[in-house]
Amino acid sequence: MLAGAHVVRPGGVDEGGRVTVEGSRIATATADNRDGVAGHATETHDLTGHWIVPGFVDIHVHGGGGASFSAGTAEEALTAIDTHRRHGTTTMLASTVTGTLDDLARQAGALSELVEQGDLAGLHFEGPFISPGRCGAHDPDLLRAPEPDAVRRLLDAARGTARMMTVAPELPGGIEAVRLLAERGAIAAIGHTDATYETTRAAIEAGARAATHLFNAMPPLGHRAPGPVAALLEDERITVELVNDGTHLHPSVLRLALRAAGPDRVAFITDAMGAAGMGDGSYPLGPLRVEVRDGVARLPDGTIAGSTLTLDHALRRAVTVDGRPVDHAVRALSTTPARLLGIADRTGSIEEGKDADLVVLDADLTVVGVMRRGEWLVKP
C-alpha cells in the first residue's frame, strides 16, 4: 500500500490518499488513508509529503541513455526504454527518423517485436513524408512524397504496431495519406510542414488527429496567413504535442498553447534523442550526427535536433516555470496522450482496475519511485 501522499486522480488531488496494488493492477485508490489497510497490501510505504501520479506516456521519443530506436536493434531500444522508465515514463512510442524505406521497414520489423512483448506501446514514423523546407534534423536527401504504396509498406512492416505517422499534408498525396492512415487505425500527425491554414483544415477533415511538436518545424502563426498553428489549436479533435524544455518554445508561447488548447488536448513529449539521460557530446540521430552542448542538441548548422529532455523535467518545469497546477501538468503527461493512443482504459490515470503504472515524486517533484504494472523499477 502507498499511503499518506498527495494522489493525483481524475477528479483532482487527494490529500493524504491511499493507493493499493494487487498484482499488476490498481486495487483501490481512495482519498482516505484511515481504513482498508488490511486485505490488499503486503507492504506499506509511508509517502507523507510525496506525490503519487500516473506513469507518464511519451508519444514522441527517439532514444535515450546513449541509444536510439533508429538503430533498429532490441539492445539499443531496451536501453532507451530503461532510461526513460527511470524518469517516470512507463508507456512510450518508439519514434524513428527519416531513412530509406528499406531501413525504416527493417527498423519497424525489429521494434514491432518489442511492442508485441509489451515493452513499447507502438511505433511513430516521423518522416520521410515531411516537407524539405521544414525538415529540421531529418536528412533532406531521403525525404519523399507520401505515395500510398510507400505508406502501406511502412504500415505493413510494422505488423499492426504503427500507432502514429507524421505527414506534411501539402505534399503530393498528403491528404490521401492522412485518409489512409485513419482507415488503417494509425494516428495521422501533422508536422514538419509548410501547409496553409486551408490545407491543414482539409487534413483534419480527412482524419488527422495530432500535431507533431506544435510550432516547431512549421510556419509561425500569422495574423493574415494563420498557417497550420491556428488550424491545429482551434480544432477540438486535435491533440497538440509540446516540447517543454525551455529551448523548443518560449514560456509565453507554451502558456498560450495551454490556454488555447487546454490540458485535455495537450500532450507533453520529449522528442528525446540518444543523449537524454547522458552528458554533452556527439550522438547519432538516424543518419546524422548531433552535437549536444549544455544539454541542447543541435546539428552543426545550429538546427535544433530533438532534445535531451525526460518527462519528469517537463513536469517540474510546467509547475515551477509555467505555473501549472500539478494535476493539470499530469493530464498533459499521462491522461491526454493515453487517450490519444486509445489506451486510457488501461493506463494514464490512477483508477481502480487500471495498470499499476505509478510515479512517486518528492516535495520538489523529483522522481523517487517508479512502478510499472505493479513492479517497482525504482523503489521509494
CB atoms within 10 A of CB 45: 18
* Alpha-carbon gap, residue 187 to 307, rounded angstroms: 23
Could you tell me the three cell numbers for 6?
A: 498527495
**Annotated binding-site residue numbers for Zn(2+):** 126, 192, 213
**DSSP secondary structure string, 302-314?**
S-B-SB---HHHH
271 is catalytic: yes
CA-wise closest residue to 88 among 119, 110, 109, 57:
57
Cell 489506451 sits on residue: 343
Measured over the CA atoms of residue 316, residue 320, residue 325 and residue 331, the dihedral's sign is negative
Tally: H helices and E strands in the chain: 10, 21
Specify binding-site residues.
126, 137, 192, 213, 216-217, 224, 248, 304-306
Closest by CA position to 16, among listed 28, 30, 1, 26 = 30
Contacts of 239 (CB under 8 A, 6+ apart): 209, 210, 211, 265, 266, 267, 336, 337, 339, 340
Q: Which residues pair with 45 in a beta bridge?
A: 2
Which residues are annotated as part of the binding site for substrate? Answer: 137, 216-217, 224, 248, 304-306
Start-to-end Cα distance in the chain: 12
Q: Write down the catalytic residue from 14, 271, 327, 357.
A: 271
Report H helices in 86-164. 101-116, 148-157
Please name the residues in contact with 103: beta carbons below 8 A apart, sequence gap of 6 or more.
72
SS3 content of the chain, % helix, strand, coil (to 5): 30, 30, 40
The residues annotated as belonging to the active site are 271
